[in-house]
Homo-oligomer: A and B are copies of this chain.
Amino acid sequence: MLSGTPFTLADLRAAYDAGATAADVVREVYRRIEAVNDPGIFIHLPAEAEVIAAAEALGPRDGRPLWGIPFVVKDNIDVADMPTTSACPAVERVADADAFVVARLKAAGAIVVGKTNLDQFATGLVGVRSPYPVPKNAVDPAIVPGGSSSGSAVAVGHGIVPFSLGTDTAGSGRVPAALNNIVGLKPSLGALSATGMMPACRTVDTISIFALTVADAHEVFRLAAAYDPADAWSRPVAAPPPSAPPKPRVAIPDAASIEFFGDTVQAENFATTVAALEQSGAVITEIDLTPFFQVAEMLYYGAFVAERHTVIEPLLASRPDAVHPVTREVVEKALGFTATDAFRDIYRLAELRRVVEPVVANVDLILVPTIPTFYSVADLEADPIGPNSRLGTYTNFVNLLDMCGLAVPTLPRGDGRPGSVTLLAPHGRDGLLAGVARTIEQFGSRTLGATGAPVPPPVPLAEQAVDGEIELAVCG
């Protein structure tokens, strides 16, 4: 029965309604893992019996919102009693506690299946910078899986689990979503606690969520979000249900600043999506993305790369060969920057934020392509850095500007490759992004990830204020 079920939350709940057990679902997860047969997805996958035992330990189905829902976790996030590696075997250690977010999801009834592969130390957007076997893109194995949250995206793209945790600093929670035809929710910074997550750039990191549908990603986000006083970067963030104005004001990059690196099919797909969104009621305006790109450059080519260096400096000093050569090349750029350079870059970022603020203030959100074009595994073998940088064109600036983002599949491209756009807005507007993305994911005739299952019809928006739930705007 379960083998034909697409793994959305609604479908799994229907299966439970129809009598499936949590152990049945875990068995189906392992059957799919075996069917996909990609040794690159997991860095740590427990024996099936262990996860079945965890499922059975849930007890009978109760009212918990994620009861019996399996998920996978990027291997730079701790799950108690499982090893964490950040894709660097030299730093492997068994976690003695769940990350804050993992603990919340487990408390809601969800079941961790395993730990997934990534670009080492979450540095990269390609998914090939790992000493473990590289996960294969779920849609087209010639294409890079995307990173750094490669395994988590591919697992959801295949429908092995309905959602997964990634992390996102430069776009690691969005680029792989575009490449695997799934949703990538990059929350407002501070909404999901970083306790138990190995940092990349602590000031702009966040845990992110992959799912097959916007509704699922946003529901998991709402359950995971909570203020955590133990995480110095945690912030009180409202996590309301999806909601959108009937005529959202949407800014898109103008013709002078939009960039597809010659990929006319991608350009056409974006234009078609914009036209469909306008048709649905959105009011479209154009903005110059140049200052956003100036921000983006600061993440790897300025002193901010020293944030990554803080994480692995002792390892680089004592065991340089333990670090992936490309990762080393990227992170060692930090050695060229002084503290004075760091503060100069912090000032420049503050000034660029001021340039961007009035642009953003005029609209509800910004719509960009998630990626400008596609790159193959062979492209990355030829040039491990250039294509990686270009994949971050529309993602690198987002966290530095303290915006939330939601990568959502749109109608497929003319050549059949997945289409994806990203919605961006200032900190705290996660509910708005989900509200508008619900419309976009219905565009065209599309399937979920690489599953072949059709996109379910939109669930009616829940009442905006549920009984006993007060919408609270918290400023910090």
Contacts and interface: CB of A to CB of B under 8 A. Distances in A.
Interface of A: 202-203, 229-230, 232-233, 303, 306-307, 309-310, 313, 334-335, 337-344, 346-347, 350-351, 353-354, 357-358, 475-476
Most interface-central of A203, A306, A338, A347 (chain B CB within 10 A): A338
A107 to B, nearest CB: 23
Contacts of A475: 475-476
A347 B306 contact: no
A202 B343 contact: yes
Nearest to A303: B339
A306 B342 contact: yes
24 contacts: A202-B347, A203-B346, A229-B354, A229-B357, A232-B347, A232-B353, A306-B338, A306-B340, A306-B342, A306-B343, A307-B343, A310-B340, A310-B347, A313-B340, A334-B338, A334-B339, A335-B338, A337-B338, A337-B339, A338-B338, A338-B339, A342-B342, A342-B343, A475-B475
Given A346-B203, A347-B202, A340 B309 contact: yes
Contacts of A230: 354
Closest 3 pairs (CB-CB, A-B): A475-B475, A337-B339, A306-B339
Contacts of A353: 232
A357 B350 CA distance: 24
Contacts of A337: 338-339
Contact of A354 (B232, B303, B309, B354): B232
Contacts of A341: 339
Given A232-B354, A334-B340, 19 more contacts: A203-B343, A229-B358, A232-B347, A232-B353, A233-B350, A303-B339, A303-B342, A306-B338, A306-B340, A306-B343, A309-B340, A310-B344, A335-B338, A337-B338, A337-B339, A339-B341, A342-B342, A342-B343, A475-B476
A284 B340 CA distance: 42
Contacts of A232: 347, 350-351, 353-354
Contacts of A334: 338-340
Most interface-central of A339, A341, A353 (chain B CB within 10 A): A339
